[in-house]
Amino acid sequence: MTYLHNDKPVTLHALGKMRAEGRKITMLTAYDASFAAMMDRTGVDTVLIGDSLGNVIQGHKSTLPVTLEQMAYHTECVARGCKRAFILTDMPFGSYQEGPVQAMRNAARLMAAGAQMVKIEGGEHMAETVRFLVERGIPVCAHVGLTPQSVNQLGGYRVQGRDETGAEKMKADALALEQAGAAMIVLELVPSKLAAEITASLTTMATIGIGAGPDCDGQVLVLYDMLGIFPGKPARFVKNYMDGAASIEEAIANYVTEVREGAFPTAAHGY
C-alpha cells in the first residue's frame, strides 16, 4: 500500500518551500525502524526522534532521564528505516545547556547517527547556541512554550503565554531564534491566538504546533498518543486516529491527510 505521489527525500529546502507556499508540514515522533518506514509510506514529512521516548518507551515520568547515547541509538534505528522523511532529533537534557561548544559536540554525535536537524528547548537565551550550530552546518529546530525539560521549573505541564507578559516574551523569543538561524520552531501548549500571531510575525522559520491551534505552519503529535496506546487521560490537543481506522498505517495516513487539509487540529484541540 502506498500513499505517495512523490517519493523524493524531504530536504530542509523542501520544508522551507512548503512553509512559503502555505502547505502544512506533517510531523510525528518515531523511535524505531519499523514505524519510521511506515511513516515514509504514508507521507509524513518530518520524523522526530523525541526525548518523549523517556515517557512512552522507558516509562519515566519526564524526559529528564534520557541520555545522549539513547537518543543516538534511536536515531540510528529510525535512520535505517526512513528513506524519505526529514529526520529531526531532540537534544536531551544536559547535552547543550552548558553552551555552544558542548552543544556542537553533542549535536555532531546525533548528526553522525543519522539526524538531519537537532531540536533544542529554550527561548532567547539559546540564540547564541543556535547561531553557533547553524554557522557550523547543523540545522536547528527551536522549541518554546511548554518545554518539557524545564517541567520542574514550570511547575508541571501547563499552557504557557496566557498572560500579556508571557505572550510578549514568547514573541520576542521566537524572533530572536529566527534571527539566530533556526529553521523551525515547535510551539507547545501555546494559546491558539498567540501561536497564530507568532507564525504571522516570522519570515523564514516554520512553526510546528502541538497544542497550539490550527494556524501553525505544521503539526506534530507523539505517535503513541495519536494511536491511543499511551496509558492515562489523553491531552486536549490529542486525537486518537485509531478510531475508525482498520490499521496503524491507515491511522497515520489519516493524520497526514487531516493536517494537510486543515481538518486537524480544530478549535476544540486548542487553548
The dihedrals phi and psi of 27, each to the nearest 5 degrees, come to -145, 140
90 is in an annotated binding site: yes
Which of 188, 249, 250, 258 is catalytic? The answer is: 188
| Cα-to-chain-centroid distance, residue 28 | 7
Looking only at the bridges linking them, the beta strands covering 206-210 and 140-145 are: unpaired
Closest of 83, 107, 117, 135 to residue 186, by C-alpha: 117
Q: How far is it, in rounded angstroms, from Cα 201 to Cα 185?
A: 13
95 is in an annotated binding site: no
- In the residue annotation, 188 being an active-site residue is answered as yes
C-alpha cell at 29: 515522533
Q: Which helix (H) or strand (E) holds 207?
A: strand 206-210
| Cα-to-chain-centroid distance, residue 153 | 21
Residue 246: Cβ within 10 Å count: 8
Query: Could you say which DSSP state residue 233 is in?
Result: P
| Residue 219 bridge partners (DSSP) | 26, 209
- The dihedral formed by the CA atoms of 226, 231, 232 and 234, expressed in degrees to the nearest 10: 0
Burial 2-29 (b: 16+ CB within 10 A, else e): eeeeeeeebeeeebbebbeeeebbbbbb
119 is in an annotated binding site: yes
Q: Which residues are annotated as a binding site for Mg(2+)?
A: 51, 90, 121
Residues catalogued as catalytic = 188
**Which residues carry a binding-site annotation?**
51-52, 90, 119, 121
